[in-house]
Structure formats: C-alpha cells, structure tokens
Amino acid sequence: MKRKALFLDRDGVMNVDFGYVHQPERCVFIAGIFDLVCLANETGYAVIVVTNQAGIGRGYYSEAQFASFMQWMSDRFVKEGATIDRVYHCPHHPDAALGAYRKSCLCRKPSPGMFDAARQDLDLDMPASILIGDKRSDMEAGRRAGVGHCFLFGSKEKSEVPNGALAIDALLEVTPLLKAKPAIIQA
Ligand SMILES: [Mg+2]
Ligand SMILES: [Zn+2]
C-alpha cells in the first residue's frame, strides 16, 4: 500500500521566516510544529520537507551550510520525539542565482519537481497526502503534484487562498485530518 505524506514547507511553517535562515541562533520554531510532526509519525505519514533555498544559488550560504543546519533541525525534532523523514530543497533561481544555480529548474516551487521526486522515492499516495505551506507558490506546487489536501498557513488575506486550498491559522488545525481513519470500502 502506498504511503501518505505530510509535506511541509520550511520557512514560515516550521521556523519563522526571517529571510534566508541558515543558522541555529536564527531559528525560531513555529508553535505546534513538534506536536504536528509527532502525530504524523504516529499515524504513519512520511514527513517530508520541501523547501526553496535560493539563498544557496545567490551565494548567501553553501550547500554544506544548508545541510548542517538541516541536520541541526532534524536533531532538534528528535529531541522532541519527532522524526523528519526526508528533506528536498531547490537551490536554484531563474535570474538571481550565480553560475550553474541560475536556471529555470523543475524543482523550484511553484513547480512540482520536489514533490514528484518524493513520490517516486517513497511510493507516495499523493491524493491522500497533506501539504502545509505559507505561500501561494506552495499551494500551486502541491496542486500540480496532485497533493489531495493543501493548507495555506498564516495567510492574512483569506481572499488570497487559492481554489482547492484551505486556510489555517494554527498548524494543529490539521490534527483531525491526520487522525482520520481511511474509509473502509465494503466488498
Ligand atoms: Mg515558506
Ligand atoms: Zn530547482
């Protein structure tokens, strides 16, 4: 049976988005994130981070700095009893990045490339999966990848919520969905 995923955008969903966060001292976790990931672990969802990191392409920090920061984040989750299963990141930017990082790639959201890679790597049930993001580009990427439940977190303007997405003001508003038992189809 295919596995369900909880896809999480990083900046603005897991940590406060101060812009190009890549150091532990700049990382402020968002209320509810540890409980959310714990619950997703318990209910069998693969927890997958999908994050645009054009700061790498722009030369603000390196791939190695990004990787070591993500390792630190992962370790913090483990200390809270929670596991992040995978991290996918896009280091590119179509015009602001340097050298080989400057390209119109298939992975930068709103393109669905990171979701597609996760689906193939982990054999995911996309219609049963959940995405939480804080930008319209997250919602578009999720929709294009076929993610069944897309939540726009912390949006000030409810009119900004695209069709097919739901607005949430707190991460734990998705708790009932994570706990929901799949409908049993009677033969
Ligand atoms: Mg974000
Ligand atoms: Zn990319």
- Expressed in angstroms and rounded, the spacing between residue 80 Cα and the centre of ligand 2 is 31
Burial class of residue 48, CB neighbours in 10 A (0-12, 13-18, 19+): buried
Give me the pLDDT at residue 185, please: 61
pLDDT over 90 for what percent of the chain? 90
Is 163 known as a binding-site position? no
Q: What is the DSSP code string of 70-139? A: HHHHHHHHHHTT----EEEEE--BTTTS-GGGBS--SSSTTS-HHHHHHHHHHTB-STT-EEEESSHHHH
Annotation: CATH topology of 5-178 = Rossmann fold (3.40.50)
Question: Closest Cα partner for 92 from 74, 113, 119?
Answer: 113
Question: Closest Cα partner for 6 from 79, 66, 81, 85?
Answer: 85
pLDDT digits (tens, 9 = 90+) for 94-128: 999 999 999 999 999 999 999 999 999 999 999 99
Whether 11 is a known active-site residue: answer: yes
**What residues flank ion ligand 1 with Cβ within 5 A?**
9, 11-12, 134
Three-class SS state of 38: helix
- Expressed in angstroms and rounded, the spacing between residue 90 Cα and the centre of ligand 2 is 4
Whether 121 is a known active-site residue: answer: no
Is 134 known as a binding-site position? yes
Give me the pLDDT at residue 163, please: 87
Is 54 known as a binding-site position? yes
pLDDT digits (tens, 9 = 90+) for 1-16: 899 999 999 999 999 9
Domain boundaries of the chain, sorted by first residue: 5-178
